[in-house]
A and B are shown apart, each in its own frame.
Chain A
Amino acid sequence: MHPTTPPPAAAPLLEEEGKTLRAMTSFRYIGAKRRAKEHPRFVSGRGRFVADVALPGMKHVALIASPHAAARIVSIDAKAAIAAPGVLYVLTGEEFCAHTDSLAVGVDAPKVTRFALASGVVRYAGEWVAAVVADSRALAEDAAELVEVEYETLPHVIESEEALKPGAPLVHPAHGSNVLYHRKFVWGPVDEAFANAGHKIAFRAVWGRSATVPIETFGVAAQWDAGTGILDIWASIQMPKFPDQTARALRLPGNAVRVHYDVDVGGSYGVKRGLKHAVLVGYLAKKLGVPVRLIEDRLENLRGGDMQGPDRFFDMQVAFDADGAIRAMKIRAVDDVGAYAGRSPFQLGKPVTAICGPYAIDAIEYEPTSVMTNKTPQEAVRGFGQSPTNFAIERAIDRVARHLGMDSIELRKKNFIRKDQFPYTIPSGSTYDSGDYHAVLDKTLAAIDYASLVHARDEARRSGRLAGIGVSACLEPSGGNSAFEVLMNPKNENTTWMDSCLVRVDLSGSITGVINNSSAGQGHESLVSTVLGEILERDPATIRVVRADSLTALPSNSPVGSRMAIMLGGAAAGAAKQIKETLMAIAAHNFECSPEDLEYRDGGVSLKGASEKKLAWDQLVEIAHRKFHKLPPGLEPGLQAKFVWEVPTGGALPTPEGRIQIYPCYAFEAHVVLVEIDPDTGKPAIRKYVCGHDCGVMINPDIVHGMTYGGIAHGIGAALYEKFSYTEDGQLASGTFMDYLIPSAMEVPGLKIVDHCTPSPLTTFGQKGSGEAGYLGAPAAIANAINDALEPLGAAIDTLPMSHLAIWKAIGGASKKAA
């Protein structure tokens, strides 16, 4: 690093670099097939997940959960449990809440406090009220059964519309209302457009309560060292600001909590937040002076793990002309976040950044309402509220097409933002960076052979089956800024969501990248090694990537919001560029010339036009580490560089009308699917599925495709199978994998992806984010296909999941109507 010549400001450096690199016809490593660095340890059973973290003398936690949706805790008798074999301690909410602070509330609702253990009242069935610590999990579970809790039930409310009614039971009486957040945004001449448009439709679309439900449940292990005063935490997490928020709740300074990011996370896709788990286990470890581990079992996870997803209905209104031009849209979204707030209301905020989807619609009204009920709290789920919104918008498009008797593909193409209109600012104030939506949809239709798809559908119909084609087109806002926080909470002025990378070259010449987060299968080690290899022209296979802990980490956020290809990729590139500049400076000093006279190739630096005058990588590295007399004046010895990057386009507060740039980059996807339905049982089967995808330059195509396939499978689950169902008395009726149905290889068909590349002008290599791909458009496409299949019967469904039963009822209902 050059203390005397500070590197230029982040954005110009990267933009300039980006242009240079994109001007090249091909990259050396980026975009090439490359095995993931992470895979060998996983296929050989050598991953290190949190349940594999075994600390000497470690104790285990089992939880006692509320059987009621709402109740007052009258008494807790733990005497028998304490006396049970192997039991060390029984912690109640009363003690816990007296010694810790509430978890953070994202929106401005300070009375909606939230602790890992309930104190005084419980607000959902499954909420934890006490924790047993014992020598083994089995002994802790034995003792948990001996804890006697007396409850006095209270009135509860389960449905969001009921919770909005005057006189409804209040989930948090101190808050004074069940509404956590409500605002009506009006962007553009909405009323005028509705008054003047030739046609209007209105309907309700309902997104069922589902989540990404990783196969690994949440877990955390903690150890307090009284000698150093440090609480060490190993956790299965994907949570921005996790160390800071854990320390705050535990009333510890930030530098007393050390979160280890070298724990492999067994899937997350948004939900692995686990703050309450970490505060609980951290408190126990510190209080008891022994290492403590909590690994949720599946019921604890589904019922009390606080990871259920959006539970939302949309009242949609669309104003359009006879030629299909959409003039305006009104979206009222009511989202049931369950019994506590956390970050979940923000999932109504992210969609603001792509509120008109890929369409040029000049006037939008958006009225989000976040409501509390006596259900398990909602947590972030892949796409952070974008997939439900895309589903509602794409159902609207199909309904407009049906209303006009127009082909829905033609309608989409008519309203798509055109390639020549980018950068394009939508009514809510976000600017889409780039795209070619027409080209991607055309590629998708060609790949699935649309004419033959229509033929196959019509053949199926002629032979008495129900068959339908579904199309969807949508955006994946990427680059994970967190500007919905400032939009939805005026007391929050957080305008940066940076990420960082430290790059070190050791005396042997080996390169190590240091990253600042744990990963849940996104391949960050592969990403960083590829980017470092690309810039430094060294083989990525030789580059190691390690993880800092939270006390040694650079400022960073978690891999959320499809951000890491952009943000971690950009940070790694920025740091590598500085290493390269240092090597050039060393060579220039030793050749007594200007860096402009030199060229960098394969890690060595030579004089332009005289390639024999060269300092190789190893020689340069040795000078940096050992030969101070050959270093340019002012240069630090050793060879390392750090780079902290602010999200491109970030840094601004919203306008008074709530216009804001939330995310920098906008990937696009189009889905086309053929579904057949067994008319006797209502069982759907996906016959053909193609997804066209444009996320700019792909750093590792296998990784991008893999996440997209997985996203589509998630979308199939949300569309057809998965639901956290509640009984009227507030009991979760889907607490096992026999009730909460996750699609298997039998339900997910063979999938095909076709790529398109419109580079982003904002990023280092032209990349956009893609971690949420597939999930954002699949539910909409499948819903449209089911409705196309039902259309000949005059039936329609706008509620997810479209279970066999729901489809069967729709068929039956329609038949009756016809009769």
Chain B
Amino acid sequence: MSETLHAISVEVNGKPRSAQVPARLSLVDWLREELHLTGTHIGCEHGICGACSVMLDGEPVRSCLMYAVQANGHRVTTVEGLAKPDGSLSVLQDSFCEAHGLQCGYCTPGMLIASQGLLNSNPNPSEAQIRDAIGGNLCRCTGYQQIVEAVQLAAERTAKEAK
């Protein structure tokens, strides 16, 4: 019994990608196993921990709760797509390093996606807004303190650069 395959075309990190996938293949499994974009992590596979967060058309979503076929015709950004065009770290990524906003690094890609999603729509968020934005992403290392500080730092730096 072989599974029926479906054609999909998805823009992943700015590049068009096409594939034939079974209907039950999750978006995160497609990204990790087929495209080898292993920066996106799997934590719970039931939509609670947020480790698998990616951007779909600029909005953070859980890639464990989406099928790859549902991404057909959409734009997906993973943590590998957050860097500057020259490959250097983005302001947010660099701020996570500066503020020690991570330890084991497992939830980090999801945290970066959630915080970048916030900063895209709200360049100057309050602490409460940051906590709300990362409230759907679980971290067991940091107690969130230095993640919040990293996002605040990124917002400050971006504002300075814009001046």
The smallest beta-carbon distance between A143 and chain B, in angstroms, is 12
Residues A214 and B140 in contact in the complex (CB < 8 Å), given A43-B93, A43-B112, A267-B106: yes
Establish whether residues B145 and A750, one from each chain, have CB atoms under 8 Å apart when the complex forms.
yes
Interface residue B42 (Cβ < 8 Å from any Cβ of A): yes
Establish whether residues B105 and A41, one from each chain, have CB atoms under 8 Å apart when the complex forms.
yes
Residues A45 and B79 in contact in the complex (CB < 8 Å), given A521-B105, A702-B100: yes
Interface residue B49 (Cβ < 8 Å from any Cβ of A): yes
CA–CA, A712 and B79, complex, Å: 28
Main secondary structure of the interface of A (DSSP, over half): loop
Interface residue B68 (Cβ < 8 Å from any Cβ of A): no
Binary contact track B1-35/A, C-beta < 8 Å → 1, others 0: 11000000000000000000000110000001000
Measured between beta carbons, the chain B residues less than 8 angstroms from A714 are: 140
Establish whether residues B105 and A707, one from each chain, have CB atoms under 8 Å apart when the complex forms.
no
The smallest beta-carbon distance between A134 and chain B, in angstroms, is 13
Residue of B nearest to A297 (CB): B45
Residue of A nearest to B106 (CB): A266
The smallest beta-carbon distance between B19 and chain A, in angstroms, is 15
Interface residues of B in 92-114 (CB under 8 A from A): 93-94, 96-98, 100, 102-109, 112
Interface residues of B in 109-141 (CB under 8 A from A): 109, 112, 127, 130-132, 134-141
Binary contact track A37-75/B, C-beta < 8 Å → 1, others 0: 011111111110101101000000000000000000000
Interface residue A748 (Cβ < 8 Å from any Cβ of B): yes
Among the listed stretches A145-153, A351-359, A735-743, which one makes contact with chain B, having 4 or more residues with CB under 8 Å of it? A735-743
Measured between beta carbons, the chain A residues less than 8 angstroms from B106 are: 47, 49, 214-216, 266-267
CA–CA, A522 and B105, complex, Å: 11
The smallest beta-carbon distance between A521 and chain B, in angstroms, is 3
Partner of A52, one of B38, B51, B96, B103: B38
Establish whether residues B24 and A264, one from each chain, have CB atoms under 8 Å apart when the complex forms.
no
Interface residue A745 (Cβ < 8 Å from any Cβ of B): yes
Tally of contact residues, A, Cβ under 8 A: 59
Interface residue B48 (Cβ < 8 Å from any Cβ of A): yes
CA–CA, A742 and B96, complex, Å: 22
CA–CA, A217 and B39, complex, Å: 16
CA–CA, A748 and B51, complex, Å: 18
Measured between beta carbons, the chain B residues less than 8 angstroms from A746 are: 131-132, 135
Interface residue B142 (Cβ < 8 Å from any Cβ of A): yes
Measured between beta carbons, the chain B residues less than 8 angstroms from A744 are: 134-138, 144
Measured between beta carbons, the chain A residues less than 8 angstroms from B82 are: 44
Interface residue A298 (Cβ < 8 Å from any Cβ of B): yes
Interface residue A703 (Cβ < 8 Å from any Cβ of B): yes
CA–CA, A36 and B96, complex, Å: 11
Establish whether residues A745 and B134, one from each chain, have CB atoms under 8 Å apart when the complex forms.
yes
Partner of B103, one of A40, A49, A138, A707: A707
Interface residue B78 (Cβ < 8 Å from any Cβ of A): yes
CA–CA, A213 and B79, complex, Å: 24
CA–CA, A423 and B89, complex, Å: 48
Establish whether residues A44 and B39, one from each chain, have CB atoms under 8 Å apart when the complex forms.
yes
Residues A215 and B140 in contact in the complex (CB < 8 Å), given A264-B105, A522-B103: yes
Interface residue A207 (Cβ < 8 Å from any Cβ of B): no
Residue of B nearest to A774 (CB): B143
Residue of B nearest to A382 (CB): B140
Establish whether residues A298 and B43, one from each chain, have CB atoms under 8 Å apart when the complex forms.
yes
Interface residue B148 (Cβ < 8 Å from any Cβ of A): yes
Establish whether residues B48 and A738, one from each chain, have CB atoms under 8 Å apart when the complex forms.
yes
Establish whether residues A215 and B93, one from each chain, have CB atoms under 8 Å apart when the complex forms.
no
Establish whether residues B80 and A712, one from each chain, have CB atoms under 8 Å apart when the complex forms.
no
Measured between beta carbons, the chain B residues less than 8 angstroms from A748 are: 143-145
Measured between beta carbons, the chain A residues less than 8 angstroms from B2 are: 85
Interface residues of A in 688-727 (CB under 8 A from B): 702-703, 705-707, 709-714
Establish whether residues A267 and B140, one from each chain, have CB atoms under 8 Å apart when the complex forms.
yes
Binary contact track A202-229/B, C-beta < 8 Å → 1, others 0: 0000000000111111000000000000
Residues A702 and B146 in contact in the complex (CB < 8 Å), given A40-B89, A42-B108, A216-B41: yes
Interface centre among B112, B127, B145 (most CB of A within 10 A): B145
Interface residue B71 (Cβ < 8 Å from any Cβ of A): no
Measured between beta carbons, the chain A residues less than 8 angstroms from B131 are: 745-746
Interface residue B163 (Cβ < 8 Å from any Cβ of A): no
The smallest beta-carbon distance between A693 and chain B, in angstroms, is 13
Partner of A215, one of B39, B89, B130, B139: B139
Measured between beta carbons, the chain B residues less than 8 angstroms from A627 are: none
Measured between beta carbons, the chain A residues less than 8 angstroms from B136 are: 744
Interface residue A269 (Cβ < 8 Å from any Cβ of B): yes
Partner of A46, one of B39, B127, B145: B39
Residue of A nearest to B146 (CB): A706
Establish whether residues B89 and A43, one from each chain, have CB atoms under 8 Å apart when the complex forms.
yes
Interface centre among A215, A217, A521 (most CB of B within 10 A): A215
The smallest beta-carbon distance between A381 and chain B, in angstroms, is 12
Interface residue A265 (Cβ < 8 Å from any Cβ of B): yes
CA–CA, A742 and B46, complex, Å: 14
Residue of A nearest to B93 (CB): A43
Partner of A298, one of B45, B112, B127, B132: B45
Interface residue B66 (Cβ < 8 Å from any Cβ of A): no
Partner of B80, one of A45, A216, A298: A45
Establish whether residues B105 and A38, one from each chain, have CB atoms under 8 Å apart when the complex forms.
yes
Partner of B138, one of A297, A712, A737, A751: A737
The smallest beta-carbon distance between B45 and chain A, in angstroms, is 6
The smallest beta-carbon distance between B122 and chain A, in angstroms, is 16
Residue of A nearest to B104 (CB): A521
Measured between beta carbons, the chain A residues less than 8 angstroms from B140 are: 212-215, 267, 269, 710, 713-714, 742
Binary contact track A293-328/B, C-beta < 8 Å → 1, others 0: 001011000000000000000000000000000000
Interface residue A35 (Cβ < 8 Å from any Cβ of B): yes
CA–CA, A268 and B105, complex, Å: 12
Residues A745 and B93 in contact in the complex (CB < 8 Å), given A521-B104, A710-B142: no
Measured between beta carbons, the chain B residues less than 8 angstroms from A46 are: 39
The smallest beta-carbon distance between A547 and chain B, in angstroms, is 15
Residues A706 and B39 in contact in the complex (CB < 8 Å), given A85-B2, A712-B143, A748-B143: no
The smallest beta-carbon distance between A328 and chain B, in angstroms, is 36
Interface residues of B in 57-102 (CB under 8 A from A): 78-80, 82-83, 89, 93-94, 96-98, 100, 102
Residues A216 and B97 in contact in the complex (CB < 8 Å), given A521-B103, A521-B141, A707-B103: no
CA–CA, A286 and B15, complex, Å: 40
CA–CA, A213 and B140, complex, Å: 8
Measured between beta carbons, the chain B residues less than 8 angstroms from A40 are: 89, 97
CA–CA, A138 and B29, complex, Å: 10
Interface residue A523 (Cβ < 8 Å from any Cβ of B): yes
Residues A264 and B142 in contact in the complex (CB < 8 Å), given A35-B97, A43-B93: no
The smallest beta-carbon distance between B33 and chain A, in angstroms, is 8
Residue of B nearest to A38 (CB): B105
Residue of B nearest to A265 (CB): B104
Interface residue B147 (Cβ < 8 Å from any Cβ of A): yes
The smallest beta-carbon distance between A774 and chain B, in angstroms, is 7
The smallest beta-carbon distance between B134 and chain A, in angstroms, is 5
Partner of B141, one of A47, A85, A702, A706: A706
CA–CA, A39 and B130, complex, Å: 21
Residue of B nearest to A136 (CB): B33
Residue of A nearest to B96 (CB): A43
Establish whether residues A266 and B44, one from each chain, have CB atoms under 8 Å apart when the complex forms.
no
The 7 nearest A-B residue pairs measured at CB: A45-B39, A42-B105, A521-B104, A266-B106, A521-B103, A709-B143, A713-B143
Interface CB pairs A-B, < 8 A, 7: A45-B38, A47-B106, A266-B105, A298-B45, A521-B102, A737-B44, A745-B135
Which chain B residues have a beta carbon within 8 Å of chain A's beta carbons? Answer: 1-2, 24-25, 32, 36-46, 48-49, 51, 78-80, 82-83, 89, 93-94, 96-98, 100, 102-109, 112, 127, 130-132, 134-148
Which chain A residues have a beta carbon within 8 Å of chain B's beta carbons? Answer: 35-36, 38-47, 49, 51-52, 54, 85, 138, 212-217, 264-269, 295, 297-298, 520-523, 702-703, 705-707, 709-714, 736-738, 742, 744-746, 748, 750-751, 774
**With A39-B96, A39-B102, A39-B105 already in contact, 6 other A-B pairs whose C-beta atoms are closer than 8 Å:** A36-B97, A214-B106, A215-B139, A266-B106, A295-B42, A702-B100
